[in-house]
């Protein structure tokens, strides 16, 4: 997606310069860059989810129940063709939060920090912080190892935030109870799960929501940029038992695919850590893994619902932009047994994205326009009346 085919959000960023072209090409203006009418800058609530694919009712999944994310999709714009820059946590997140491509950041793996290459790059939360917004993070916005980094700062960026919270819940204490279907791998990268005892609020992601709500309450009177990052449905798939009960094993369907689906797919298209179909696991184990993933999605949905309820209760709906994304998609056995991430198939590179910006004409309508995740940075800055760095790739890297 180069400069010759600017994406939908890029159109937004370019604003007036592109308006004529937008009309000529028939692009539907779902969000506009006109004055948002706020007496003060709008707040930003950025909700990040880890390893969430389109297994949500609002994206047409026949089984997975996500009523709260669905409500946000109805309230805002659901992007049906949004693509992450690289389908892996660290490079995708670094790209979203700097508005720059992995090729510029030189971040392709799970270890490298984007400031190693660009020490003075201005992140999106940093931009807001420097323009007077209170900037805070709860949980995983930049990369973290899940689950072993939970409770730490992970690969954080201190310049981005006024305040950070690193929740750590009973899921970390319960690690010894987690079932690992591939015991030769660590649970961070293996199909592994736990139908947990206890309440939502005891889980790390329940604490993420609780702490984020506290920050919403404490900072409701000032412009804020609040990043709220959930750790599930990343492996291990840990969620309270009631969410597993939503998905009886005999109702779960494994993906269908054509016979010989792999015969015309080059080897390089498959992730190096998923060398054989389904990791060689049997059908019952795959059904249980799918159940656990679905349970984790519904558990996260409930935590998102708690956040959205707080926004409503605090009467922040008319002054808060809400951006919901996952860092990439996720495989659950498609193409004859691909699981997890690190591929460029649609299931993995196409990524959930929902944006609600108050009073925008496009709210309530999904869009098929292709967007990429580097478009998020300039769009959110523009919606809040803040000038983004002029050398972002949306400007083709030019200082115009
Ligand atoms: Ca991830």
State pLDDT tens for residues 197-221: 999 999 999 999 999 999 999 999 9
- How far is 196 from 183, CA to CA, in rounded Å? 19
Write down the residue that tokens 């714009």 correspond to.
77
pLDDT band at 34; cut points 50, 70, 90: very low
Active-site residue list: 89, 143
Cβ–Cβ under 8 Å, residues 318 and 239: no
Rounded to 10 degrees, what is the CA torsion of 175, 180, 184, 190? -90
Q: Give the pLDDT confidence of 155-168 residue by residue, as tens digits.
A: 999 999 999 999 99
d(CA 243, CA 299) in angstroms, rounded, equals 6
- DSSP code, position 367: B
Distance from the CA of 106 to the center of ligand 1, in angstroms? 18
Kindly list the domain boundaries of the chain, sorted by start residue: 37-379
Query: In the prediction, which pLDDT does 398 show?
Result: 59
**Most confident among 17-21, 112-116, 272-276 (mean pLDDT):** 112-116
Q: Is 153 left (phi over 0), alpha (psi -120 to 50) or beta?
A: alpha
Q: How far is the CA of 234 from the centre of ligand 1 (A)?
A: 7
pLDDT at 11 exceeding the cut of 60: no
CA nearest to 142, candidates 173, 169, 121: 121
Check pLDDT > 70 for residue 38.
no
* Cβ 277 vs Cβ 283: under 8 Å: no
Residue 14 has pLDDT above 60, yes or no: no
Sign of the alpha-carbon dihedral angle for 30, 232, 66, 247: positive
Rounded distance between C-alpha atoms, residue 332 and residue 252, angstroms: 12
DSSP helix, strand, coil percent of the chain (3-state; round to 5): 40, 15, 45
Give the DSSP H or E segment for 302. Answer: helix 283-313
pLDDT for the residue 396: 66
Architecture label for domain 37-379: 3-Layer(aba) Sandwich (3.40)
Centre of ligand 1 to C-alpha 153, Å, is 16
Least Cα distance to 395 among 380, 371, 378 occurs for 378
Indicate the pTM of the whole model: 0.91
Q: How far is the CA of 141 from the centre of ligand 1 (A)?
A: 10
pLDDT tens profile 248-282: 999 999 999 998 999 999 988 998 878 789 999 99
């Amino acid at each position: 997606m180069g400069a010759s085919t600017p994406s939908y959000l890029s159109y937004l960023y370019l604003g007036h310069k592109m308006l004529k072209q937008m009309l000529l090409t028939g692009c539907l203006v779902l969000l506009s860059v006109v004055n948002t009418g706020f007496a003060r800058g709008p707040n930003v609530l950025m909700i990040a989810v880890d390893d969430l694919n389109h297994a949500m009712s609002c994206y047409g999944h026949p089984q997975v129940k996500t009523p709260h994310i669905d409500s946000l999709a109805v309230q805002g714009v659901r992007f049906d063709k949004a693509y992450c820059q690289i389908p892996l946590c660290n490079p995708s997140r670094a790209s979203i939060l700097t508005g720059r491509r992995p090729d510029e950041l030189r971040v392709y793996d799970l270890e490298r920090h984007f400031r190693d290459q660009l020490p003075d790059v201005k992140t999106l939360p940093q931009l807001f912080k420097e323009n007077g917004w209170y900037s805070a993070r709860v949980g995983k916005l930049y990369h973290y190892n899940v689950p072993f980094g939970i409770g730490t700062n992970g690969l954080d960026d201190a310049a981005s935030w006024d305040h950070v919270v690193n929740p750590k819940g009973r899921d970390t204490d319960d690690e010894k109870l987690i079932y690992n279907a591939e015991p030769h791998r660590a649970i961070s990268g293996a199909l592994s799960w736990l139908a947990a005892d206890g309440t939502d609020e005891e889980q790390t992601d329940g604490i993420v929501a609780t702490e984020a709500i506290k920050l919403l309450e404490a900072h409701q009177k000032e412009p804020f940029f609040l990043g709220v990052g959930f750790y599930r449905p990343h492996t291990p798939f840990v969620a309270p038992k009631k969410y597993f009960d939503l998905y009886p094993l005999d109702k779960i369907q494994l993906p269908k695919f054509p016979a010989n689906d792999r015969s015309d797919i080059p080897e390089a298209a498959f992730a190096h850590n998923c060398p054989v179909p389904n990791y060689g696991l049997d059908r019952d184990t795959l059904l249980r893994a799918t159940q656990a993933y679905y349970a984790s999605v519904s558990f996260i949905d409930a935590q998102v619902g708690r956040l959205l309820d707080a926004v409503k209760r605090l009467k922040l709906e008319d002054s808060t932009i809400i951006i919901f994304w996952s860092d990439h998609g996720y495989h659950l056995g498609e193409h004859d047994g691909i699981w997890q991430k690190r591929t460029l198939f649609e299931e993995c590179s196409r990524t959930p994205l929902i944006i609600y910006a108050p009073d925008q004409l496009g709210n309530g309508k999904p869009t098929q326009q292709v967007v990429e995740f580097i478009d998020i940075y300039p769009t959110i800055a523009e919606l809040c009346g803040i000038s983004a760095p002029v050398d972002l790739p949306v400007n083709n890297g030019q200082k115009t």
